[in-house]
Amino acid sequence: MKRNHAIGLFMNIVCGFIICLVMGLIVLHRVGAPMTLVTVMFTTIESFFVSYMVGDLVPSFTWGNKFAAAIGLKGVPAYFIAIAVHDLFMVTLISFLATFLVSGFTMKTIIGWWANYPVVLLCAYLVLLLIMKPLMKVAMKITKNITD
């Protein structure tokens, strides 16, 4: 396994799990569902399967970095933009697909998804701002012996 692939795999799995847990907790709270171990595990695992596939197929963090560079940003502002692009693509796709996977494609489901989407998007953005750099450092450290 090449190092870049290993780093991407680690980031996809760990970030995806954390974001899915956060999204699940927010939605369960907002819809008034019971916060039991079973409901939290179900929402997290169900959305994680979607997250893993989306994370493998959509290079949204790379797109965010390219967009930030294209508009001339560097450092912290570039990081904020890269995370915003990543958040927009990943959270939109994960929350949308996971919602319809469980509830089916109905107008009621669309309304429910839309009612929670802004809060989930904002909370996930804040979580991603906090976790991406530390997780990247961990990924770099645990993959240091993997050669390209």
pLDDT score of 75 more than 70? yes
Note the pTM of the prediction, 2 decimals.
0.88
Structural domain count, the chain: 1
In this prediction, residues 83-108 reach a mean pLDDT of 91
Q: Which of 48, 39, 47 is nearest to 14 (CA)?
A: 48
Residue-number span of the structural domain to which 47 is assigned = 3-142
Q: 34 in a domain, yes or no? A: yes
pLDDT above 90 (res 130) = yes
22: confidence class by pLDDT, cuts 50, 70, 90: very high
Q: How far apart are CA 87 and CA 82, in angstroms?
A: 8
Q: Is residue 40 part of a domain?
A: yes
- Tell the residue number behind the tokens 């697909």, with chain if given: 97
Residues with Cβ within 8 Å of 144's Cβ and at least 6 positions away in sequence, in order, are none
pLDDT (average), residues 42-60: 92
**147 inside domain:** no
Task: Please determine, for residue 6, whether its predicted confidence score (pLDDT) is greater than 70.
Answer: yes
pLDDT at position 1 over 70: no
pLDDT at 147 over 80: no
| Residue 36 belongs to some domain of the structure | yes
Q: Tell me the average pLDDT of the chain.
A: 92
Question: Is 94 part of a structural domain of the chain?
Answer: yes
126 assigned to some structural domain: yes
Task: Answer yes or no: is 123 within a domain.
Answer: yes
